[in-house]
Amino acid sequence: MTAKEDHLAIPPASTYFMVEEKETEERHTLSVVVDNEPGVLARVIGLFTARGYNIEQLTVSEVHHDRGVSRITIVAKGTPHILEQIRSQLRRLVPVHSVADLTLDGDPIERELALVKVKGEGEKRVEALRLADAFRARVVDAHTGSFVFEITGKTRKVDQFIQLMKPLGLIEVVRTGVAAISRGPEAMKV
Partner 1 sequence: MADESEHAEEMTGAEIVLRALKDQGVKDIFGYPGGAVLPIYDELFQQDELNHILVRHEQGAVHAAEGYARSTGKVGVVLVTSGPGATNTVTGLMDALADSIPVVVITGQVPTGLIGSDAFQECDTVGITRSCTKHNYLVRDVNDLARTIHEAFYVATHGRPGPVVVDIPKDVQFATGRYTPPQNVQHKTYRPQTQGDHSAIEAAVRLLASAKRPIFYTGGGVINSGPRAVVALRELAELTGVPVTSTLMGLGGFPASSDQWLGMLGMHGTYEANLAMHDCDVMVCIGARFDDRITGRLDAFSPGSRKIHIDIDPSSINKNVRVDIPVLGDCGLVLEEMVRVWKDGGLSMDREALSHWWEQINVWRARDCLKYRRSDDVIMPQYAIERLYEATKGRDTFITTEVGQHQMWTAQFYRFERPNRLMTSGGLGTMGYGLPAALGVQAANPGALVIDIAGDASIQMNIQELATAIQHQLPVKVFLLNNNYMGMVRQWQELLHGNRLSESYVEAQPDFLELAQAYGWHGIRCTKPADLDEAIREMIEMDKPVFFDCRVANLANCFPMIPAGQAHNEMLLGEDEKDAEQAGV
62 binds partner 1 (CB under 8 A): no
- Among 7-15, 128-136, 153-161, 164-172, the segment contacting partner 1 (CB under 8 A): 7-15
Per CB under 8 A, the list member of 61, 63, 64, 92 interacting with partner 1 is 92
| C-alpha dist (Å) from residue 103 to 30, 106, 130, 184 | 7, 5, 34, 14
Task: Tell the smallest beta-carbon distance from residue 135 to partner 1 (Å).
Answer: 41
174 binds partner 1 (CB under 8 A): no
Task: Tell the smallest beta-carbon distance from residue 88 to partner 1 (Å).
Answer: 4
Give the number of other Cβ atoms within 10 Å of residue 44's Cβ.
21
C-alpha closest to that of 99 among 11, 154, 28: 28
- Among 9-17, 118-126, 153-161, 165-173, the segment contacting partner 1 (CB under 8 A): 9-17
φ and ψ at 151, to 5 degrees?
A: -125, 140
C-alpha closest to that of 114 among 145, 146, 136: 136
As a whole number of angstroms, the distance between CA 7 and CA 96 comes to 48
Give the number of other Cβ atoms within 10 Å of residue 140's Cβ.
11
Look up residue 12 and give its amino acid. Answer: P
64 binds partner 1 (CB under 8 A): no
Per CB under 8 A, the list member of 6, 24, 94, 143 interacting with partner 1 is 94
Per CB under 8 A, the list member of 27, 41, 43, 119 interacting with partner 1 is 43
CB 92 within 8 A of CB 121: no
Q: Given the complex with partner 1, which of 7 and 143 has the nearer CB atom?
A: 7
Positions touching partner 1 (CB under 8 A) are: 4, 7-8, 10, 13-19, 35, 38-39, 42-43, 46, 50, 81, 84-85, 88-89, 91-92, 94-97
